[in-house]
Structure 1
């Protein structure tokens, strides 16, 4: 009985306490109450596409709107072919055509929230990877209408995490508040990245863990992620994000 109580105490301290704290801070923020009132224009993070001949791949994440914004973010991926005069953005959304192409500017605010650049690859390496990224987008298994569930997934973060696992050369992991990133397609329970640098184990995105050079050590509980980042020393806090160097 004592061990059960201790387990609940650990879950409360590690997962629920940060989530409640984040929700409280979110409730005090001045934020748009409706979609139509939010800002969706460019945040000015990326240079104009025509200013560089280089190929590029970018992954962004931004806190979402409404009550979900207290604990969850939305991720998307941006591609620019060598010599292209425009970026191409891909989002997975829950309305209309699920894989949205250029629905918003490449580095746009999301529900008025400033996006975080998760990773960027430019130049020759991006040229080599763009076809592989596009292949991962084309083969995403939940691309049809109805292939979206806010929690535990598959959602927008499941889509981008699928690309990052399929193209491990991008060498990135979505932030801890990207709820749905740990949902594996189909009936997959265990996934070892192609380069063997990350192992993912999950039961439908509800409980599991990730371990490796990219993920560090993570434990997942009901879509919330806690763990240690070894590549860039820091801690991963549920609903809050990564804290460290």
Structure 2
């Protein structure tokens, strides 16, 4: 028994804690981390076209590293929609202050705490037009909107919200990055279920540990919010704290 526990401990250290420690060291050596919320750059990263230049419908999901020490291991994600011919984008975030879901709190493709976002999925045209009502319905149906329902770790949090949207609209055909802490959180009554893409099976022990096997998500092992895994569909490895390394996962 002692030998088995020793092996489990070594696996946890090698697979999760060593990458976390290495990324923490790298993060500490950066000189571009915003020291405070007020000092951070929240401006547009210019990923989306101006609405005057984009008459088509657009649905997008973005992710960006969070601020200060939490950026060592976590991304924040959000959802953006625009109907065909609309004169504005609509951005949805779930954050730890305010209720319910925050609408247009920041630029649709804005930096998050100074960190530039990257797209998880971008869908345009008729396909986006068909999905927008479903996305809006998913936002409205998110069950953890009330004040006090947000829990930064292990969830439900901002990434739990976006995972709910993806689960409600599987046609988005997207998987959140492994560093989207909280994406795998599920209440204890739903230990076993489908992955957000509905292409596989997910086991979640309250966000503290779990495993996912899906065509879109690949193979993921979750330990205390840190995720290690492999993407087979778009070949890549998923390293705790560092994130995804390999083929670009974005769906257009």
- Same fold? TM cut 0.5: yes
Q: CA deviation at 1:187?
A: 2.5
* SS of match in other structure, 1:68: helix
**Conserved 8 A contact 2:61-2:120:** yes
Deviation at 1:97, TM superposition (A): 2.5
Q: How far 1:191 sits from its partner (Å)?
A: 1.9
CA contact (8 A) 2:57 2:125 kept: yes
In structure 2, what is the equivalent of residue 27 of structure 1? 28
| Counterpart position of 1:137 | 139
Please show how residues 175-190 of structure 1 align to structure 2 within 5 Å.
175-185=177-187, 187-190=189-192
Extract unaligned runs of 5+ from structure 2: 248-252
Matches within 5 A, 1:66-105: 66-105=68-107
For the 8 Å contact 1:82–1:127, the answer to whether it is kept is yes
Please report the RMSD computed on the Cα atoms of aligned residues, expressed in angstroms: 1.3
Matching of residues 124-203 of structure 1 within 5 Å = 124-185=126-187, 187-192=189-194, 196-203=198-205
Alpha carbons 2:173, 2:197 under 8 Å: kept: no
1:7 aligns with: 8
Residue 116 of structure 1: aligned partner: 118
Q: Secondary structure at the match of 2:38?
A: helix
TM-score normalized with structure 1 length:
0.97
Question: Residues 71 and 232 from structure 1, CA distance in 2 versus in 1: closer, same or farther, beyond 3 angstroms?
Answer: same
Q: 1:200 to 1:6 in 2, by over 3 A?
A: same
- Cα displacement (A) at 1:196: 4.3
Deviations 1:156-212 (A, max 9, x none): 000001111111110111101110000125731122258741221101111111111
Runs of 4+ more than 3 Å apart? 193-196
Q: How far did 1:82 drift?
A: 1.0
8 Å CA contact 1:18–1:239 kept in 2: the answer is yes
Q: Which residue pairs with 1:17 in the alignment?
A: 18
Q: For 1:125-174, what per-residue CA distance to the aligned partner results, in whole angstroms no more than 9, with x for missing partners?
A: 11111111111111101011111111000000000011111111101111
Unaligned segments of structure 1, at least 5 residues: none
Deviations, residues 72-105 of structure 1 (Å, cap 9, x unaligned): 1100000001111111000000012241100000
**SS of the counterpart of 1:16?**
helix
Normalised by the size of structure 2, how large is the TM-score? 0.94
**Most deviating of 156-165 and 193-202:** 193-202
* Closer/same/farther in 2, CA of residues 194 and 23 from structure 1, 3 Å limit: closer
